[in-house]
Chains A and B, each alone.
Chain A
Amino acid sequence: MSLSTNEEEAQNSVTSSNRVRIAVPAPLVGALLLCLFWENATRIFDIPSYVLPAPSDIFNAVLASDNQRLLFYATIQTGSAAALGFIIAAVVGILLGTLLASVRILRRGVYPLANLLQMVPIIAIAPLLNIWFGYGIVGVAASATIVSIFPVIANTVDGLRSIDPHLIELFNVYGANSKQRWRLLEIPAALPQIFTGLRVAAGLAVIGAVVGELVSGVLTDPPIGAVIASNLRTSKLEIVFAAIACSAIVGFSLFGLVSWCGQRFMGRWNSSQQREVLDDKLTPDSERKERYLIIFITTISLVLTIIAFLPKTTQSRSKEILSSHRDRTELTSVSLQLNWLPEPEFGGIYEAKRLGFDREEGIDLQIIAGGPGTPSGQLVAQKKIEFAVVDSTQIISMRAKGAGLIGIYASFNKDPRGIITHTKNAPSSLETLWHSNRMMAVEPGSIFMKWLSHKYGESQLTWVSTTGGLSQFKLDPLLAQSVFVFSEPVILKLQGIETRLFPISDSGYNPYAVVVATHEDLNTQNPRLINAMNKVLRRGWSSYLKNSVPTNRLLSKLNTSMSFEAMELALRFAKPFIIGDSEHLGEMKLNRWRKLKTQLSTLGLLDAAHEVKASDCFWQP
Chain B
Amino acid sequence: MATNHTEPMQTADAIGIEITDLSKSFGSRQILNNIRLNITPGSFHIFIGPSGCGKTTLLRLIGGLEIPNTGELAFHTQSASEDKRNKLSPSEMSYGFQEPRLLPWRTVKDNVGLPLELSGMSIEEAHQLVDEVLGKVSLDDATDLYPSQLSGGMKMRAAIARALVTKPKLLLLDEPFGALDEITKNRLDDELLELWKNFKMTVILVTHSLSEAVYLGQHIHVLASMPGRIEKSLDVSFQERTPQLRLTTEFTHKVAEAHKWLQRAEGVHA
How many angstroms between the C-alpha atoms of A267 and B145 in the bound complex? 12
How close is B167's CB to chain A, nearest CB, in angstroms? 14
Partner of A266, one of B90, B97, B105, B153: B105
Residues of B contacting A180 with CB < 8 Å? 118
User: Using a CB-CB cutoff of 8 Å, which residues 144-168 of chain A contact chain B?
Assistant: 164, 166-167
Residues of A contacting B63 with CB < 8 Å? 173
How close is A186's CB to chain B, nearest CB, in angstroms? 11
Residues of B contacting A270 with CB < 8 Å? 105
How close is B140's CB to chain A, nearest CB, in angstroms? 12
Residues of A contacting B114 with CB < 8 Å? 174, 184
With an 8 Å Cβ cutoff, the count of chain A residues facing the other chain is 28
Residues of A contacting B119 with CB < 8 Å? 174-175
A272–B148 contact, CB under 8 A?
Answer: yes
How many angstroms between the C-alpha atoms of A186 and B149 in the bound complex? 22
Residues of A contacting B99 with CB < 8 Å? 166
B117 at the interface (CB under 8 A from A): yes
How close is A207's CB to chain B, nearest CB, in angstroms? 32
How many angstroms between the C-alpha atoms of A189 and B154 in the bound complex? 22
Residues of B contacting A272 with CB < 8 Å? 146, 148-149
User: Using a CB-CB cutoff of 8 Å, which residues 103-145 of chain B contact chain A?
Assistant: 103-106, 114-115, 117-119
Say what secondary structure dominates the interface of chain B.
loop
In this complex, what residue of A is CB-closest to B142?
Answer: A2
A169 at the interface (CB under 8 A from B): yes
B154–A2 contact, CB under 8 A?
Answer: yes
Residues of A contacting B94 with CB < 8 Å? 173
A166, A170, A176, A184 interface centre (most CB from chain B within 10 Å): A170
A15 at the interface (CB under 8 A from B): no
Count of A-B residue pairs with CB < 8 Å: 59
In this complex, what residue of B is CB-closest to A181?
Answer: B118
B75 at the interface (CB under 8 A from A): no
A184–B146 contact, CB under 8 A?
Answer: no
Partner of B148, one of A175, A266, A269: A269
How close is B183's CB to chain A, nearest CB, in angstroms? 9
On whether A273 and B104 interact (CB within 8 A), knowing A2-B154, A166-B99, the answer reads yes
How many angstroms between the C-alpha atoms of A9 and B149 in the bound complex? 8
Partner of B97, one of A166, A171, A184: A166
B197 at the interface (CB under 8 A from A): no
How many angstroms between the C-alpha atoms of A184 and B63 in the bound complex? 23
A546 at the interface (CB under 8 A from B): no
How close is B185's CB to chain A, nearest CB, in angstroms? 14
Mark A173-192 against chain B: 1 for CB-CB distance below 8 A, else 0: 11110001000110011010
How close is A438's CB to chain B, nearest CB, in angstroms? 57
A2, A172, A270 interface centre (most CB from chain B within 10 Å): A2
Residues of A contacting B97 with CB < 8 Å? 166, 169-170
Residues of B contacting A273 with CB < 8 Å? 104, 148
A584 at the interface (CB under 8 A from B): no
A5 at the interface (CB under 8 A from B): yes
A173–B154 contact, CB under 8 A?
Answer: no
Say what secondary structure dominates the interface of chain A.
helix
B105–A173 contact, CB under 8 A?
Answer: no
A184–B95 contact, CB under 8 A?
Answer: no
With an 8 Å Cβ cutoff, the count of chain B residues facing the other chain is 25
How close is B263's CB to chain A, nearest CB, in angstroms? 33
In this complex, what residue of A is CB-closest to B138?
Answer: A2
A312 at the interface (CB under 8 A from B): no
Residues of A contacting B65 with CB < 8 Å? 169, 172-173
Residues of B contacting A267 with CB < 8 Å? 105
A174–B148 contact, CB under 8 A?
Answer: no
How close is A169's CB to chain B, nearest CB, in angstroms? 7
A5–B151 contact, CB under 8 A?
Answer: yes
A173–B148 contact, CB under 8 A?
Answer: no
B97, B105, B118 interface centre (most CB from chain A within 10 Å): B105
Residues of B contacting A266 with CB < 8 Å? 105
A424 at the interface (CB under 8 A from B): no
Partner of B105, one of A9, A172, A269: A269
In this complex, what residue of A is CB-closest to B157?
Answer: A2
B103, B115, B154 interface centre (most CB from chain A within 10 Å): B103
How many angstroms between the C-alpha atoms of A175 and B114 in the bound complex? 11
A326 at the interface (CB under 8 A from B): no
A167–B103 contact, CB under 8 A?
Answer: yes
Residues of A contacting B89 with CB < 8 Å? 175
B101 at the interface (CB under 8 A from A): yes
How many angstroms between the C-alpha atoms of A164 and B105 in the bound complex? 13
A317 at the interface (CB under 8 A from B): no
B154–A176 contact, CB under 8 A?
Answer: no
User: Using a CB-CB cutoff of 8 Å, which residues 1-44 of chain A contact chain B?
Assistant: 2, 5, 9
B146–A268 contact, CB under 8 A?
Answer: yes
How close is A176's CB to chain B, nearest CB, in angstroms? 5
How close is B162's CB to chain A, nearest CB, in angstroms? 9
B90–A185 contact, CB under 8 A?
Answer: no
Residues of B contacting A184 with CB < 8 Å? 103, 114, 117-118
B118–A171 contact, CB under 8 A?
Answer: yes
How many angstroms between the C-alpha atoms of A69 and B146 in the bound complex? 49
How many angstroms between the C-alpha atoms of A171 and B102 in the bound complex? 11
Mark A258-274 against chain B: 1 for CB-CB distance below 8 A, else 0: 00000000111110110
Residues of A contacting B104 with CB < 8 Å? 269, 273
How many angstroms between the C-alpha atoms of A185 and B119 in the bound complex? 15
In this complex, what residue of B is CB-closest to A164?
Answer: B101
Residues of B contacting A188 with CB < 8 Å? 103, 105
Report 8 cross-chain contacts, Cβ distance below 8 Å, ordered by A residue: A2-B153, A166-B97, A173-B65, A174-B115, A184-B117, A191-B105, A269-B106, A269-B148
Interface residues, chain A, CB within 8 Å of chain B? 2, 5, 9, 164, 166-167, 169-176, 180, 184-185, 188-189, 191, 266-270, 272-273, 276
Q: What would 4 more interface pairs be, CB under 8 Å, given A175-B89, A185-B103?
A: A2-B153, A171-B118, A174-B115, A266-B105
